[in-house]
C-alpha cells in the first residue's frame, strides 16, 4: 500500500445511509422451503413492529394491510393486493 498516495476520511454512516448497511451483520439463511402462511402469522404475532401496525389501525389505502387470514403485508406502490 505504500506505493499509493491516499487519505482515509471517516464519514458517519448516518450521513451515507446506503453504505451504512455494510457494517451490519447479515446472517446466512439456508432454507429452500417457502415460509408457510401459518408460520408468518405466528412470527408476526411475536414481532413488535407488526403488532404496532395492527394496533395503530390499518386503513384500506394504507401502506400495510391484513389479508383474510390476518397476515400483515406491505403494499407495493402502484399495485393493489
Cell of 48: 413488535
Residue 32, pLDDT > 80, answer no
pTM of this structure: 0.50
Determine the length of the chain. Answer: 81
Higher pLDDT, 81 or 51: 51
Using 50, 70 and 90 to split pLDDT, how confident is the model at 75?
confident
Residue 47, pLDDT > 60, answer yes
Judged against a pLDDT cut of 70, whether residue 25 lies above it is answered with: no
How far is C-alpha 26 from the geometric centre of its chain's CA atoms? Answer: 13
* Residues 64, 38: Cα–Cα separation, whole Å: 19
Task: Kindly calculate the radius of gyration of the chain based on its CA atoms and give it in whole angstroms.
Answer: 20
Amino acid at each position: 500500500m505504500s506505493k499509493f498516495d491516499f487519505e482515509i476520511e471517516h464519514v458517519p454512516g448516518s450521513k451515507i445511509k446506503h453504505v451504512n448497511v455494510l457494517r451490519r451483520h447479515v446472517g446466512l439463511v439456508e432454507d429452500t422451503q417457502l415460509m408457510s402462511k401459518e408460520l408468518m402469522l405466528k412470527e408476526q404475532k411475536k414481532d413488535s413492529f407488526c403488532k404496532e401496525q395492527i394496533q395503530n389501525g390499518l386503513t384500506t389505502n394504507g401502506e400495510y394491510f391484513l389479508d383474510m387470514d390476518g397476515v400483515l403485508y406491505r403494499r407495493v406502490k402502484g399495485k393493489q393486493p
